[in-house]
Structure 1
Amino acid sequence: MSSVKGDFGRGLIVVGPVLVTLYLAYYLYSFIAGVTPGLLLNAETLEAIVPGLGEYARARLAGFLRVATFVGFLALAMYVIGQMTDTTTGGILEGVVDYVANRVPVIRVVYNASKTATETTFGAGETLQTPVRVETWDGVWMTAFKTGQRTPDGRATLFLPTSPNISSGYVLEVSPDDFTELDETLEEALTRVVSGGFGDADTAEDLEDTSLTVVGQLESDGTREGDQ
């Protein structure tokens, strides 16, 4: 019985995320197709272009074209806005948006989380670097991560995450002689911390996106603390 339960669990681990991803993709597609106006792209306007298709097929095709057009315009708008942020005017507008969003209690959380995830995904800002082992008490070693920052007196700034919630932790200022770099990747070290020490290094790649999101959140929190 335990073998059947274990096999079912492993199968669910593989199939579950795929089904959830497909469902979210379908939901997002249906949502965009439903909210985009069908004044220009609808089954009637496509009848002259593809007269051989039935009304249902034309309606499906019109929905797909509306989604493609919406995504195209959105990508173009993001590119243009991204170019504007390199200018003085764009920087001012971005600052105004940040200021307004951070003054609304609920919107502030969603806005900062979304911004952090986006910045991290596209490589904006610094990220956690080499995992290290630091002795926090006599004979007790813990996994921390270099941040790439140093204090004015030359100490390295490390981030010591809690387990299993790595979005919180402690900032350590440690002499370079008081910690040891680990011969493993960032994802492998984060896997061990998140799993409470039970994680398998072979599954480290599964946490790559999670680690990037958490890293961005930590950087955003650190930036806001510095501003204060």
Structure 2
Amino acid sequence: MKKYFIAGILVWAPMAVTIWVITWGLGLLDGVFGSVMHAIIAVFPIQFSPGLQHFRELPAVGILIVIAVIMFTGLLAISFAGQWWMKVWNRIMNRIPIVRSIYSSVQQVSSTLFSGSGQAFSKALLIRYPHAESWAIAFQTGNPATEVAAKLGGDYVNVFLPTTPNPTSGFFMIVPRAHTIELDMSVEEALKHIVSMGSVPPSNPTHLTAIKSDPHF
């Protein structure tokens, strides 16, 4: 009975987690559409409200419309006129005192993560955490800011240390480059290893001898 139960878990667990993540993402998109529809219903006359409410309740309509709007926005953004409007929009947003701090930060992070040209999550590293006798897998996210690097005086690197089994949260740290070990495994393999709490070994075994062969440790 125990063997059958474990075999059933191994079949359903990946599917259940995958469905949960997809459902969460789709629910987020549908929530965005729902907020927009509530605002439209509040603006339009009462005679149009029942029809709009019925349209809002149609299954998957919100998800499809949000995806279509995102695709259409991306199509406009890469055009010449769209780039001009984006510059105007950015100037407007950057003039609002509180909004500009949030907007510019999110814009820079998004550009770094999705452009593929930045340093975010470019390498998987081993760092000493939470004490000198233990190791954790982290990801290189870039180099310290100019002021930080000048005051630290040395070669440091920015790293993101994800938590297990949820890698979307974690810690941002600045550590000496000499105290890190670069791994041969890819970022994707490292994420799998972290999410599985170390139970799923990476396909590239060469990183297992990295610590032994490193002369600094």
Give the alignment's TM-score, normalised by structure 1. 0.48
Q: Which has the higher contact order (CA 8 A, sep 6+)?
A: 1
Give the alignment's TM-score, normalised by structure 2. 0.50
